[in-house]
A and B are shown apart, each in its own frame.
Chain A
Amino acid sequence: MISRPRSYVGRLVVPALSILLALLVASLLIIASGLIGPEKKINLLLPLIAYRSLLAGSFGSLKGVANMIVAATPLMLTGLAVGVGLKAGLFNIGATGQVLMGGFTAALVGVRMADASPAIAIPAALLGGIAAGAVAGFIPGFLKAYTGAHEVVTTIMLNALSQLAISGLVNDVFRAPGFSFARTAPVGNAALTGIGGTNLHLGVLFAVVCIPLSYWLLWRTTVGFEIRAVGANPTAALYAGMKPRRMMILTMSLCGAFAGLAGAIEIQRLGYYPAVFGTSIGFDGITVALLGQANPIGIMLSGLLLGAMRAGAPLMQIQARVPVEIIDVIQGVILIFLAAEIVVRRIFRLRAPSAGAGELQTITRTYGEKVTG
């Protein structure tokens, strides 16, 4: 966009306040959990203990900060996977499936190149993940462009199908002998190992690069202009000579590529692919994208925030006896407050937003229609 947003600060206000309110609501839940859980007493200070351990686990030490960055890395990528799609008017909740496909492919490539030099094996596996993710994103994009099937339903179906297909393959075809549970062979030199005794790894660089790359793509290039135009008004874009269908497919493939990269990074960190890879980064990406208002900078910040929460959660579970799933609840409540922006503004007596509907308002428009052009 040519004009700089009037104030970045202004756009931070509502998300920040939503987070605050969500933490408040979660506090109630934490207190309630103290009552229902094993302790069986009401401890009004429990939320503070919980949040303090949450912070300690992420910011409290150098190791914690490293953990936070490591946790945030895939989240920023899946956040882009959802966020860039939003700019094109597409809601990519299939990041989960794309992550799995990317991770699985990276594992296969890694196993193949387990003995090659890391300089070749690591990029090869990452590339494999990116490519697989792109294909996984291409499918719903193509279906949406040429049949009108809304990506919200098709991507959820593909999530399930990816999981079933991959677990079937790992169990029956790619199972490595000698392990107590079903998993592939180790990826050997394709693994992303920790640097300097911390958990930081090369994959972090990739995420860091993707953020400014996305920003440049969306706001500075003709391709990004087309993507945003198609997202805002596909018919006008068509009439102006653009090709909405092509843009949709391109964008979904790009989103899939981001998610695939995230999956590849996680698997290469783990060192192998287990038959059932239980990761929440696909879903978390939705929160990161919405909280970041589909803007690469916002996504970076939200990714860090959510990464901090995920990194600190285990410590919180140990110290405050609050289950890690509270993070999932907090996510949901943040989103509710985000969606009910008006309520947040009223509570804090903020001015109403200026004219011009946000990207977040435009997804439902294409729900039942066929796409032209």
Chain B
Amino acid sequence: MDALLNIPVLGFILQFLVYLVDVIVNGHIAPIILGLATPIALGALCGVMNERSGVVNIGIEGMMLFSAYVAFMTALFVHQAIPADRSTFFGVTPALISGIIAAIIAGVLISLLHAWLSISVRADQIISGTIINITALGLTSYLNRLIKPFDSAGTFQSFRPPAELINLPGVGWLFEMFLSVGPIAMLTIILVVVVQILLFRSRWGLRTRAVGEHPKAADTVGINVIGLRYRNVLLGGVFAGLAGAYLTLEATGSFQNNMTAGRGFIALAAMIFGRWTPLGAFGGALLFMGSQALGVAIRLAPPAGDLGTFLAGIQQSYPSIYNNFFTGLPYLLTIIVLAGVVGRSVPPAADGRPYEKESST
């Protein structure tokens, strides 16, 4: 084995793969990967709800950002008004609950704007989404400047599964990944599975897919295309709201200007990668954000051997580039995946085309 690992370039790759497996299974970074993937997965769910119904939504980024801000500020105000002890159940407080609810409402409200512009006004949907992004960024930056937050309502706490479960050889990391996380992250997996099942086996799912593929056909069998699209876009706003709440109430306990940093777009790529299915998008989210987790892992527990020394050497000479490389990996992966996948991964046929009920001659 050592002989293999010592071959110049191939050896590095092998060392890397060995390291990868080791760090995932033994390195306790699995929950970190899920944590990073959660907002992406939720954003992708929002995207799926929209695009499966035929509405392109580029504004997930803005929805997330705005919901994140609303979640944070609401939790803060409630926390100021009603200081409460943390319950043992995920560290829940009234403040945090209010924050989530407010975030969901915010997500739905912005989705209402997007739905209105895309479905009723029939504006170009990409422009509509971009406008939402610009406005959300502007509004949150403005408000953040105006009201300088001086405190925080804290965050949800992760669940602590029994140690025996985590330390199971071989599969322990799976349990750790899905259980050693906060409530929103845990909820995400459940939501992914539920939406997947409903999309392909329920009446709602059949009608949604029909409306996204061929709205005229759906119309002629009596389905309310406009109504269904509105409802689904609004429902998507719930997921975007949850994603925002996650960022400020579970992942960190603060709000930074533009803290979404492109996650909304990575979510889109995950959705395209997953062929517009929730499970596929979830896989994509894990893949994209796993690369960032890798950076964390390498810093905490550097690989042994030549690869380790090589990496340490780079870190020494080019610390900023080294760090930025790992931060930038998800973005790079997104481009690569998109370039490779489009054309093979086909969106719903009526995606992006506003529906007009015609009374034809």
A residues with a Cβ closer than 8 A to B are 29, 33, 36-37, 91, 93, 143, 147-150, 152-154, 156-161, 164-165, 167-169, 171-173, 283, 286-287, 290, 323, 325-333, 335-336, 339-343, 360-365, 367-370
Contact = CB atoms under 8 A, between A and B. Distances in A.
Q: Which of A150, A325, A361, A363: most chain B CB closer than 10 A?
A: A325
A164 B324 contact: yes
Given A157-B331, A360-B127, A367-B126, A332 B134 contact: yes
B328 A325 contact: no
Given A336-B135, A340-B117, A340-B123, A368 B346 contact: yes
B142 A328 contact: yes
Interface stretch (B92-100, B239-247, B336-344): B336-344
Contacts of B126: 91, 152, 363-364, 367
B325 interface: yes
B287 interface: no
A167 B352 contact: no
Contact of A364 (B125, B323, B327): B125
Contact of A158 (B318, B335, B340, B343): B335
Contacts of A327: 138
Determine chain B's interface SS by DSSP, over half rule. Answer: helix
B321 A363 contact: no
B137 interface: yes
Nearest to A371: B343
A33 to B, nearest CB: 5
Contact of B142 (A148, A154, A323): A323
Given A153-B269, A329-B138, A370-B343, A168 B318 contact: yes
Interface string B102-120: 0000000000010011000
Contact of A153 (B123, B137, B138, B268): B268
B317 interface: yes
- How many B residues touch the partner, as a band? 35 or more
Nearest to A361: B124
B131 A154 contact: no
A156 B134 contact: no
20 contacts: A33-B142, A147-B339, A147-B343, A153-B269, A156-B265, A160-B261, A172-B317, A325-B145, A329-B139, A330-B138, A332-B137, A332-B139, A335-B135, A336-B113, A339-B117, A339-B128, A362-B124, A365-B352, A368-B345, A370-B342
Contacts of B3: none
Nearest to B349: A368
Nearest to B348: A368
B334 interface: yes
B320 interface: yes
Nearest to A323: B145
A286 B262 contact: no
Given A330-B138, A332-B131, A332-B137, 14 more contacts: A148-B343, A152-B126, A153-B269, A156-B262, A161-B328, A164-B331, A172-B319, A325-B138, A325-B141, A328-B137, A328-B142, A335-B134, A339-B123, A361-B124
Contacts of A360: 123-124, 127
A226 to B, nearest CB: 22
B135 A364 contact: no
A168 B321 CA distance: 4
Determine chain A's interface SS by DSSP, over half rule. Answer: helix
A323 B134 CA distance: 17
Contact of B135 (A171, A332, A342, A365): A332
B121 interface: yes
B176 interface: no
B279 interface: no
A36 B327 CA distance: 36
Contact of A172 (B113, B141, B320, B342): B320
10 nearest CB pairs, A to B: A332-B135, A328-B138, A171-B320, A368-B347, A168-B321, A325-B142, A148-B342, A370-B343, A164-B324, A364-B352
Contact of B127 (A159, A363, A370): A363
A367 B352 contact: yes
A162 to B, nearest CB: 10
Given A156-B262, A160-B261, A342-B121, A150 B146 contact: no
B184 interface: no
A330 B134 CA distance: 10
Nearest to B134: A332
A160 B134 contact: no
B157 to A, nearest CB: 31
Contact of A286 (B124, B130, B340, B345): B130
A369 B125 CA distance: 16
Contacts of B116: 340
A324 to B, nearest CB: 8
Given A150-B342, A153-B334, A157-B332, A336 B142 contact: no
Interface string B43-74: 00000000000001010000000000000000
Contacts of B145: 323, 325
B81 interface: no
B9 interface: no
B131 A36 contact: no
Given A340-B121, A342-B121, A368-B346, A154 B320 contact: no
A168 B325 CA distance: 9
A289 B131 CA distance: 13
A164 B318 CA distance: 13
B250 interface: no
A368 B342 contact: yes
A153 B317 contact: no
B147 A36 contact: yes
B109 to A, nearest CB: 13
Nearest to A182: B320
A341 B269 CA distance: 30
A363 B113 CA distance: 19
B258 to A, nearest CB: 10
Contacts of A368: 272, 342, 345-347, 351-352
Contacts of B272: 368
B8 to A, nearest CB: 25
Interface string B270-308: 001000000000000000000000000000000000000
Contacts of B136: 332
Contact of B124 (A29, A33, A172, A363): A363
A150 B145 CA distance: 34
Nearest to B320: A171
Nearest to B123: A339
Contact of B138 (A148, A154, A158, A332): A332
A325 B56 CA distance: 28
Contacts of A173: 318, 321
